[in-house]
Amino acid sequence: MKIARIEAIIVRMPLRKAFNINLASVTYKDHVVVRVFTDDGFVGIGEAAPLPQFSGEAGDAMVSIIKENLAPAVVGLDPFDIEKIVSAMDGAIAGHNLAKSAIDFAVYDLMGKSIGKPVAKLLGGCVRETVPLCWAVGIGKPDDVIAEALDKVKEGYRCLKLKIGLNPKEDIERVRLVREAVGDEIKLRVDANQGYRPDTAIPTLRKMERYELQYAEQPVPKWDLDGMARVAASVGVPIMADESVFNLNDAVEIVRRRAASVINIKVGKLGGLYKSKKVAAIAEAADIACMVGSMLEAGIGTVAAAHFAASTQNVGYECELIGSLMYDRDIIADELDIEGGVFRIPQSAGLGVGVAHEPLGS
Protein backbone atom coordinates (compact mmCIF):
# COMPACT_ATOMS: atom_id res chain seq x y z
CA MET A 1 0.00 0.00 0.00
CA LYS A 2 1.37 3.39 -1.05
CA ILE A 3 0.15 6.96 -0.72
CA ALA A 4 -1.09 7.91 -4.19
CA ARG A 5 -2.24 11.51 -3.79
CA ILE A 6 -3.28 14.14 -1.25
CA GLU A 7 -6.05 16.72 -1.52
CA ALA A 8 -6.51 19.80 0.68
CA ILE A 9 -9.31 22.40 0.79
CA ILE A 10 -10.53 25.11 3.15
CA VAL A 11 -13.91 25.05 4.87
CA ARG A 12 -14.77 28.31 6.63
CA MET A 13 -17.01 27.84 9.68
CA PRO A 14 -18.43 30.61 11.88
CA LEU A 15 -18.48 30.07 15.63
CA ARG A 16 -21.80 30.20 17.45
CA LYS A 17 -20.47 33.24 19.29
CA ALA A 18 -17.18 35.10 19.46
CA PHE A 19 -14.49 33.41 21.55
CA ASN A 20 -12.36 36.14 23.12
CA ILE A 21 -8.84 35.48 24.32
CA ASN A 22 -5.85 37.70 24.97
CA LEU A 23 -4.47 37.05 21.48
CA ALA A 24 -7.60 37.56 19.38
CA SER A 25 -11.38 37.62 19.15
CA VAL A 26 -12.26 34.51 17.15
CA THR A 27 -15.53 34.66 15.19
CA TYR A 28 -14.78 31.99 12.55
CA LYS A 29 -12.12 29.41 11.70
CA ASP A 30 -10.74 28.32 8.34
CA HIS A 31 -10.53 24.54 8.66
CA VAL A 32 -8.08 22.87 6.31
CA VAL A 33 -9.49 19.45 5.41
CA VAL A 34 -7.09 16.88 3.98
CA ARG A 35 -7.75 13.57 2.28
CA VAL A 36 -4.94 11.08 1.73
CA PHE A 37 -5.59 8.41 -0.94
CA THR A 38 -3.74 5.11 -1.30
CA ASP A 39 -3.16 3.13 -4.47
CA ASP A 40 -5.48 0.36 -3.25
CA GLY A 41 -8.51 2.49 -2.51
CA PHE A 42 -8.26 3.57 1.14
CA VAL A 43 -8.89 7.21 2.03
CA GLY A 44 -7.86 8.91 5.26
CA ILE A 45 -9.17 12.26 6.44
CA GLY A 46 -7.48 14.94 8.51
CA GLU A 47 -8.13 18.50 9.61
CA ALA A 48 -6.35 21.47 11.11
CA ALA A 49 -7.85 24.73 12.35
CA PRO A 50 -5.23 27.48 12.25
CA LEU A 51 -5.26 30.62 14.34
CA PRO A 52 -2.53 32.81 12.79
CA GLN A 53 -2.09 34.88 15.95
CA PHE A 54 -1.27 31.67 17.83
CA SER A 55 0.69 29.51 15.39
CA GLY A 56 1.71 31.80 12.55
CA GLU A 57 -0.15 29.63 10.01
CA ALA A 58 -3.16 30.68 7.92
CA GLY A 59 -5.52 28.52 5.88
CA ASP A 60 -4.57 29.62 2.35
CA ALA A 61 -0.87 29.26 3.10
CA MET A 62 -1.44 25.83 4.65
CA VAL A 63 -3.20 24.54 1.55
CA SER A 64 -0.36 25.83 -0.61
CA ILE A 65 2.28 24.23 1.63
CA ILE A 66 0.43 20.90 1.59
CA LYS A 67 0.08 20.88 -2.19
CA GLU A 68 3.51 22.20 -3.10
CA ASN A 69 5.79 20.88 -0.36
CA LEU A 70 4.27 18.16 1.82
CA ALA A 71 2.30 16.07 -0.66
CA PRO A 72 5.22 15.59 -3.08
CA ALA A 73 7.39 14.54 -0.13
CA VAL A 74 5.12 11.70 1.02
CA VAL A 75 3.44 10.44 -2.16
CA GLY A 76 4.77 6.96 -2.86
CA LEU A 77 5.46 6.14 0.79
CA ASP A 78 3.84 3.34 2.77
CA PRO A 79 1.37 4.96 5.22
CA PHE A 80 2.54 2.56 7.94
CA ASP A 81 6.07 4.02 7.71
CA ILE A 82 5.01 6.94 9.87
CA GLU A 83 8.54 7.83 11.01
CA LYS A 84 9.62 8.11 7.38
CA ILE A 85 6.55 10.20 6.54
CA VAL A 86 7.15 12.61 9.42
CA SER A 87 10.84 12.90 8.52
CA ALA A 88 9.98 13.49 4.86
CA MET A 89 7.60 16.32 5.77
CA ASP A 90 10.18 17.92 8.06
CA GLY A 91 12.78 17.61 5.31
CA ALA A 92 10.48 19.23 2.76
CA ILE A 93 9.85 22.38 4.81
CA ALA A 94 10.63 23.60 8.32
CA GLY A 95 7.82 24.44 10.73
CA HIS A 96 4.21 24.50 9.46
CA ASN A 97 3.17 22.02 12.14
CA LEU A 98 -0.57 22.43 11.63
CA ALA A 99 -0.31 21.61 7.93
CA LYS A 100 1.75 18.55 8.79
CA SER A 101 -0.71 17.50 11.48
CA ALA A 102 -3.61 17.36 9.02
CA ILE A 103 -1.66 14.84 6.92
CA ASP A 104 -0.58 12.94 10.05
CA PHE A 105 -4.23 12.58 11.15
CA ALA A 106 -5.27 11.38 7.70
CA VAL A 107 -2.46 8.82 7.56
CA TYR A 108 -3.43 7.39 10.93
CA ASP A 109 -7.07 7.32 9.82
CA LEU A 110 -6.33 5.30 6.70
CA MET A 111 -3.97 2.99 8.61
CA GLY A 112 -6.76 2.21 11.04
CA LYS A 113 -9.28 1.72 8.26
CA SER A 114 -6.97 -0.65 6.40
CA ILE A 115 -6.66 -3.01 9.39
CA GLY A 116 -10.09 -2.42 10.91
CA LYS A 117 -8.81 -0.87 14.17
CA PRO A 118 -9.43 2.50 15.84
CA VAL A 119 -6.55 4.98 15.82
CA ALA A 120 -6.13 4.69 19.61
CA LYS A 121 -5.00 1.08 19.07
CA LEU A 122 -2.25 2.32 16.74
CA LEU A 123 -1.09 4.78 19.40
CA GLY A 124 -0.56 2.16 22.10
CA GLY A 125 -4.08 1.09 22.95
CA CYS A 126 -6.70 2.66 25.17
CA VAL A 127 -5.83 3.38 28.78
CA ARG A 128 -9.27 4.99 29.06
CA GLU A 129 -12.38 4.75 26.90
CA THR A 130 -13.80 8.05 28.08
CA VAL A 131 -12.06 11.40 28.47
CA PRO A 132 -13.33 13.95 31.02
CA LEU A 133 -13.58 17.43 29.56
CA CYS A 134 -13.03 21.01 30.67
CA TRP A 135 -15.07 23.83 29.19
CA ALA A 136 -13.19 27.02 28.26
CA VAL A 137 -14.91 30.37 28.88
CA GLY A 138 -13.63 33.35 26.90
CA ILE A 139 -12.94 36.83 28.23
CA GLY A 140 -16.17 38.76 28.64
CA LYS A 141 -18.40 40.75 30.93
CA PRO A 142 -18.61 39.19 34.41
CA ASP A 143 -22.34 38.45 34.15
CA ASP A 144 -21.86 36.71 30.80
CA VAL A 145 -18.90 34.68 32.06
CA ILE A 146 -20.80 33.59 35.17
CA ALA A 147 -23.87 32.62 33.14
CA GLU A 148 -21.83 30.50 30.75
CA ALA A 149 -19.97 28.84 33.62
CA LEU A 150 -23.22 27.94 35.39
CA ASP A 151 -24.77 26.63 32.17
CA LYS A 152 -21.84 24.28 31.62
CA VAL A 153 -21.93 23.05 35.21
CA LYS A 154 -25.61 22.21 34.69
CA GLU A 155 -24.63 20.26 31.57
CA GLY A 156 -22.29 18.14 33.68
CA TYR A 157 -18.87 19.77 33.30
CA ARG A 158 -16.86 19.47 36.49
CA CYS A 159 -13.94 21.58 35.25
CA LEU A 160 -13.90 25.12 33.81
CA LYS A 161 -11.16 27.27 32.30
CA LEU A 162 -11.32 31.06 32.37
CA LYS A 163 -9.43 33.09 29.79
CA ILE A 164 -7.51 35.97 31.37
CA GLY A 165 -4.53 38.18 30.49
CA LEU A 166 -5.92 41.60 29.51
CA ASN A 167 -6.37 43.27 32.89
CA PRO A 168 -5.05 41.71 36.13
CA LYS A 169 -7.57 43.45 38.39
CA GLU A 170 -10.52 42.41 36.24
CA ASP A 171 -9.08 38.91 35.86
CA ILE A 172 -8.90 38.42 39.62
CA GLU A 173 -12.45 39.67 40.04
CA ARG A 174 -13.83 37.31 37.35
CA VAL A 175 -12.09 34.37 38.95
CA ARG A 176 -13.56 35.33 42.33
CA LEU A 177 -17.06 35.69 40.96
CA VAL A 178 -16.98 32.41 39.08
CA ARG A 179 -15.60 30.52 42.07
CA GLU A 180 -18.36 31.89 44.26
CA ALA A 181 -20.99 31.07 41.62
CA VAL A 182 -19.96 27.45 40.90
CA GLY A 183 -18.80 26.48 44.38
CA ASP A 184 -15.76 24.64 45.63
CA GLU A 185 -16.47 21.27 43.97
CA ILE A 186 -15.84 22.51 40.42
CA LYS A 187 -12.23 22.52 39.25
CA LEU A 188 -11.09 25.90 37.97
CA ARG A 189 -8.10 26.78 35.78
CA VAL A 190 -7.00 30.02 34.07
CA ASP A 191 -5.19 30.79 30.81
CA ALA A 192 -3.48 34.12 30.15
CA ASN A 193 -2.31 33.29 26.61
CA GLN A 194 1.01 35.10 27.28
CA GLY A 195 -0.81 38.18 28.57
CA TYR A 196 1.36 39.02 31.60
CA ARG A 197 4.98 39.82 32.26
CA PRO A 198 6.59 37.90 35.14
CA ASP A 199 6.43 40.88 37.51
CA THR A 200 2.68 41.10 36.84
CA ALA A 201 1.99 37.38 36.74
CA ILE A 202 3.49 36.68 40.18
CA PRO A 203 1.34 39.05 42.29
CA THR A 204 -1.75 38.36 40.15
CA LEU A 205 -1.54 34.59 40.52
CA ARG A 206 -0.74 34.91 44.23
CA LYS A 207 -4.02 36.77 44.66
CA MET A 208 -5.79 34.00 42.74
CA GLU A 209 -4.35 31.22 44.90
CA ARG A 210 -7.18 31.55 47.42
CA TYR A 211 -9.60 30.38 44.71
CA GLU A 212 -7.89 26.98 44.49
CA LEU A 213 -6.85 27.01 40.85
CA GLN A 214 -5.98 23.71 39.21
CA TYR A 215 -3.23 25.50 37.26
CA ALA A 216 -2.41 28.72 35.38
CA GLU A 217 -1.66 28.35 31.69
CA GLN A 218 1.01 30.30 29.78
CA PRO A 219 1.11 33.37 32.03
CA VAL A 220 4.04 35.01 30.20
CA PRO A 221 5.32 35.33 26.61
CA LYS A 222 6.22 32.01 25.01
CA TRP A 223 9.87 32.95 24.55
CA ASP A 224 10.41 33.95 28.19
CA LEU A 225 11.15 30.55 29.70
CA ASP A 226 13.35 32.05 32.40
CA GLY A 227 10.51 34.37 33.35
CA MET A 228 8.04 31.50 33.41
CA ALA A 229 10.41 29.50 35.58
CA ARG A 230 10.56 32.46 37.97
CA VAL A 231 6.75 32.56 38.09
CA ALA A 232 6.58 28.81 38.67
CA ALA A 233 9.01 29.07 41.58
CA SER A 234 7.21 32.06 43.12
CA VAL A 235 3.54 31.06 43.22
CA GLY A 236 1.55 28.23 44.71
CA VAL A 237 -0.43 27.62 41.51
CA PRO A 238 1.01 25.02 39.12
CA ILE A 239 2.10 26.51 35.79
CA MET A 240 1.21 25.02 32.41
CA ALA A 241 3.15 25.58 29.19
CA ASP A 242 1.18 25.89 25.94
CA GLU A 243 2.52 28.38 23.40
CA SER A 244 6.01 27.65 24.73
CA VAL A 245 5.86 24.07 23.41
CA PHE A 246 5.63 23.66 19.63
CA ASN A 247 8.17 20.82 19.26
CA LEU A 248 10.28 18.25 21.08
CA ASN A 249 13.13 20.68 21.72
CA ASP A 250 10.72 23.11 23.38
CA ALA A 251 9.53 20.33 25.69
CA VAL A 252 13.12 19.56 26.68
CA GLU A 253 13.72 23.23 27.48
CA ILE A 254 10.64 23.35 29.69
CA VAL A 255 12.01 20.39 31.63
CA ARG A 256 15.57 21.72 31.78
CA ARG A 257 14.54 25.15 33.05
CA ARG A 258 11.75 23.88 35.32
CA ALA A 259 9.48 26.39 33.66
CA ALA A 260 6.24 24.41 34.07
CA SER A 261 4.78 21.37 35.79
CA VAL A 262 2.08 20.73 33.16
CA ILE A 263 2.23 20.72 29.34
CA ASN A 264 -0.69 21.43 27.04
CA ILE A 265 -0.42 18.97 24.15
CA LYS A 266 -2.37 20.33 21.22
CA VAL A 267 -1.77 17.61 18.68
CA GLY A 268 -2.12 20.02 15.77
CA LYS A 269 0.34 22.49 17.25
CA LEU A 270 2.98 19.77 17.63
CA GLY A 271 2.64 18.43 14.09
CA GLY A 272 0.35 15.47 14.66
CA LEU A 273 -0.24 12.35 16.72
CA TYR A 274 3.18 10.82 16.18
CA LYS A 275 5.15 13.81 17.49
CA SER A 276 2.64 14.37 20.28
CA LYS A 277 3.42 10.89 21.59
CA LYS A 278 7.09 11.82 21.72
CA VAL A 279 6.39 15.02 23.66
CA ALA A 280 4.21 13.07 26.08
CA ALA A 281 7.11 10.65 26.64
CA ILE A 282 9.49 13.52 27.41
CA ALA A 283 6.97 14.92 29.88
CA GLU A 284 6.40 11.55 31.51
CA ALA A 285 10.14 11.01 31.97
CA ALA A 286 10.32 14.37 33.76
CA ASP A 287 7.23 13.65 35.91
CA ILE A 288 5.29 16.40 34.12
CA ALA A 289 1.60 15.71 33.51
CA CYS A 290 -0.14 16.60 30.25
CA MET A 291 -3.50 17.93 29.15
CA VAL A 292 -4.85 17.66 25.61
CA GLY A 293 -6.00 21.05 24.40
CA SER A 294 -7.90 22.39 21.41
CA MET A 295 -7.30 24.73 18.49
CA LEU A 296 -11.10 24.85 18.09
CA GLU A 297 -10.94 22.07 15.53
CA ALA A 298 -14.16 20.69 14.12
CA GLY A 299 -15.03 17.00 14.36
CA ILE A 300 -12.05 15.44 12.56
CA GLY A 301 -9.34 17.25 14.51
CA THR A 302 -11.27 16.90 17.77
CA VAL A 303 -11.68 13.15 17.49
CA ALA A 304 -8.01 12.74 16.50
CA ALA A 305 -7.00 14.48 19.72
CA ALA A 306 -9.46 12.30 21.66
CA HIS A 307 -7.79 9.13 20.36
CA PHE A 308 -4.48 10.55 21.59
CA ALA A 309 -5.91 11.38 25.02
CA ALA A 310 -7.45 7.91 25.32
CA SER A 311 -4.17 6.18 24.53
CA THR A 312 -1.74 8.28 26.60
CA GLN A 313 -1.25 7.42 30.27
CA ASN A 314 0.39 10.73 31.10
CA VAL A 315 -2.73 12.77 30.27
CA GLY A 316 -3.62 13.54 33.85
CA TYR A 317 -6.06 16.44 33.55
CA GLU A 318 -9.48 17.05 32.06
CA CYS A 319 -9.02 17.77 28.35
CA GLU A 320 -10.39 20.68 26.35
CA LEU A 321 -11.69 18.75 23.34
CA ILE A 322 -14.65 21.06 22.88
CA GLY A 323 -13.91 22.78 19.57
CA SER A 324 -16.58 20.95 17.60
CA LEU A 325 -19.21 22.08 20.12
CA MET A 326 -18.59 25.73 19.27
CA TYR A 327 -20.06 25.48 15.75
CA ASP A 328 -23.64 25.09 14.53
CA ARG A 329 -22.54 22.62 11.86
CA ASP A 330 -19.64 20.25 11.44
CA ILE A 331 -17.49 18.74 8.72
CA ILE A 332 -18.27 15.20 9.84
CA ALA A 333 -21.38 13.11 9.26
CA ASP A 334 -21.17 11.46 12.67
CA GLU A 335 -22.14 13.08 15.94
CA LEU A 336 -19.37 12.88 18.51
CA ASP A 337 -20.32 11.11 21.73
CA ILE A 338 -19.94 14.01 24.16
CA GLU A 339 -22.36 14.19 27.06
CA GLY A 340 -22.19 15.50 30.60
CA GLY A 341 -18.66 16.79 30.11
CA VAL A 342 -17.36 13.36 29.03
CA PHE A 343 -16.05 12.29 25.61
CA ARG A 344 -16.55 8.63 24.66
CA ILE A 345 -14.00 7.50 22.08
CA PRO A 346 -15.27 5.95 18.81
CA GLN A 347 -14.46 2.25 18.57
CA SER A 348 -14.86 1.87 14.80
CA ALA A 349 -11.94 1.73 12.36
CA GLY A 350 -9.65 4.71 11.89
CA LEU A 351 -10.71 7.95 13.51
CA GLY A 352 -14.26 6.62 13.50
CA VAL A 353 -15.83 9.55 11.64
CA GLY A 354 -16.55 10.42 8.02
CA VAL A 355 -16.93 13.64 6.05
CA ALA A 356 -20.56 14.80 5.92
CA HIS A 357 -20.46 16.05 2.35
CA GLU A 358 -18.12 17.39 -0.27
CA PRO A 359 -17.18 20.69 1.42
CA LEU A 360 -16.90 23.77 -0.73
CA GLY A 361 -13.59 25.52 -0.35
CA SER A 362 -10.79 27.22 -2.19
Q: Is residue 359 part of a domain?
A: no
Please give the Cα distance from 336 to 321 (Å, whole number): 11
Instruction: Please check whether residue 197 is in contact with residue 227, taking contact to mean a CB–CB distance below 8 angstroms.
Output: yes
Give the model's pLDDT for residue 24: 79
Give the model's pLDDT for residue 59: 82
Instruction: Please check whether residue 321 is in contact with residue 294, taking contact to mean a CB–CB distance below 8 angstroms.
Output: yes
Q: Is residue 350 part of a domain?
A: no
Coil, helix or strand at residue 103: helix
Give the model's pLDDT for residue 357: 63
Please give the Cα distance from 98 to 48 (Å, whole number): 6
Q: Which of 187, 266, 269, 275 is catalytic?
A: 266
Give the model's pLDDT for residue 360: 41
Residue 313's region, left for phi above 0, alpha for psi from -120 to 50, else beta, is alpha
Residues 92 and 222 in one domain: no
Q: Which residues pair with 10 in a beta bridge?
A: 32
Residues 149 and 85 in one domain: no
* Residue 163 is a catalytic residue: yes
Q: Which of 163, 187, 269, 275 is catalytic?
A: 163
Residues 73 and 167 in one domain: no
Long-range contacts of 235-240 (CB under 8 A, 24+ apart): 235/201, 235/202, 235/205, 235/206, 235/209, 236/206, 236/209, 237/205, 237/208, 237/209, 237/213, 238/214, 238/262, 239/215, 240/189, 240/191, 240/215, 240/216, 240/264, 240/291
Q: Which domain holds residue 175?
A: 122-344
With the C-alpha atoms ordered 346, 350, 351, 353, is the resulting torsion angle positive or negative?
negative
Q: Is residue 352 part of a domain?
A: no
Sequence-separated (6 or more) residues with CB below 8 Å from residue 252: 282
Residues 111 and 129 in one domain: no
Give the model's pLDDT for residue 53: 78
Given 116, 133, 163, which residue is the final one in a domain?
116
Q: Is residue 205 part of a domain?
A: yes
Mean pLDDT in order along the chain per 10 residues (362 residues): 96 89 85 96 95 81 96 98 98 96 98 98 96 96 96 97 96 98 97 97 98 98 98 98 97 97 97 98 97 95 98 96 92 91 96 76 38
Amino acid at 15: L
Coil, helix or strand at residue 78: coil
Residues 219 and 175 in one domain: yes
CATH of the domain at 131: 3.20.20.120
Residues 337 and 224 in one domain: yes
Sequence-separated (6 or more) residues with CB below 8 Å from residue 167: none
Q: How many domains does the chain have?
A: 2
Give the model's pLDDT for residue 361: 41
